[in-house]
Structure 1
């Protein structure tokens, strides 16, 4: 269990899963730079993050910008949207409403579905935080992709929970050590807002000064 003073940003788990150096630059070094993609992401989240916008219909209502935290993961943050559906046998009590209500998260994403689990890992981390905040069990939640206008249901399996717990633990270890992790190179690196700060081609491999000098001295002697 982590203390509140040690909580890391919930949204950072997606960065860490996708590119640990990107996460290090943002969360350890406090580096940040905007580009087209980060700006579009903010626009997509603008409506979802507005706590004064509420939608409701019979046996269903939406809560926006809900703060959550987990001492188990040591993460805290704000959820885009939580959908509450009225249930007879399971769920939580909600102030001003009768009966029990079962929550499910809807996390908004700017682009389209990813080939890896970066979005899913973030969603599962959010679910664990919401479960701990509301004292409830959640079996599934959703990812909404703005580019494709598609809402994807994600089952919150035990394997995914364990993957999130492991990832969060490594995040805390790296943060505590204050390390900036080594770069990896991906085909989409140049689309990252931190590309000019990261300089992946130069920072991917550590250069040994002794080997560098030795190689160049050998060349000069030829």
Structure 2
């Protein structure tokens, strides 16, 4: 059985563990404007060909895999500077975020490259389509530890095979394409546990 985790799943888990479980355990999916724009963007990126500019080689749609972390996926762009400096670049449709959802995915890509090439990757980048800007991602020890923790949590949740309840931050639900399938408001209004507890108390 192939128990490898898609690299993109880490961003799903970091955003919302319930979203992650709906997609990667229940195999549910729905598309909205944001996912459609993201898909179109990646199709454009994937259609590009490798090229060389001076001492930098640009490789597109690079397949990555980590046997140790049980990860696999496709990298949008790999910049190879000379023969030793590798920079993974992820394309996102939105804009830079204060939280690390996107950075975790880039860090996981770097971990795969390090294992595959036996090198050290010190930085990555994210290109945001909405603002047409590139954000550098320093692969710090803190980000690496957070990413490793997320990878472990993802594998554990898949092995458990259970979909968790919605997160308390309902502002994330508005942009989620799975909102109708998830039904977060129904779960938040569910008072059955409190009702049962009060029933036995009296």
> How does the TM-score come out when normalised to structure 1?
0.83
Whether the 8 Å CA contact 2:84–2:119 is kept in 1: the answer is: no
Does structure 1 residue 140 correspond to structure 2 residue 123?
yes
Aligned-partner Cα distance in 2 for 1:75–1:135: 16
Match in the other structure for 2:180 = 196
2:24 to 3, 24, 27: 27
The CA deviation string for residues 20-47 of structure 1, in whole angstroms up to 9 with x for no partner, is 0000000000000111110000111112
CA displacement at 1:212 relative to structure 2: 6.1
Residues 1:159 and 1:213: Cα distance change in structure 2 (over 3 Å): closer
Match in the other structure for 1:128 = 111
Match in the other structure for 1:94 = none
Specify the SS of the correspondent of 1:179. coil
Which 4+ stretches in 1 moved above 3 angstroms?
A: 204-207, 212-215
1:115 to 98, 104, 120: 98
CA displacement at 1:211 relative to structure 2: 1.8
Match in the other structure for 1:41 = 38
Match in the other structure for 1:154 = 137
Match in the other structure for 2:149 = 166
Does structure 1 residue 62 correspond to structure 2 residue 58?
yes
Residues 1:152 and 1:209: Cα distance change in structure 2 (over 3 Å): closer
Any gaps of 5 or more consecutive residues in structure 1? 87-99
The CA deviation string for residues 80-118 of structure 1, in whole angstroms up to 9 with x for no partner, is 0001111xxxxxxxxxxxxx2421011001010012110
Whether the 8 Å CA contact 1:182–1:205 is kept in 2: the answer is: no
Specify the structure having the higher radius of gyration (Cα): 1
2:85 to 102, 108, 112: 102
CA displacement at 1:205 relative to structure 2: 6.4
Give the aligned CA root-mean-square deviation in angstroms: 2.1
CA displacement at 1:177 relative to structure 2: 1.0
Aligned-partner Cα distance in 2 for 1:119–1:181: 22
CA displacement at 1:55 relative to structure 2: 2.4
Aligned-partner Cα distance in 2 for 1:151–1:191: 23
CA displacement at 1:69 relative to structure 2: 1.1
Any gaps of 5 or more consecutive residues in structure 2? none
Alignment of 1:82-97 (within 5 A): 82-86=78-82
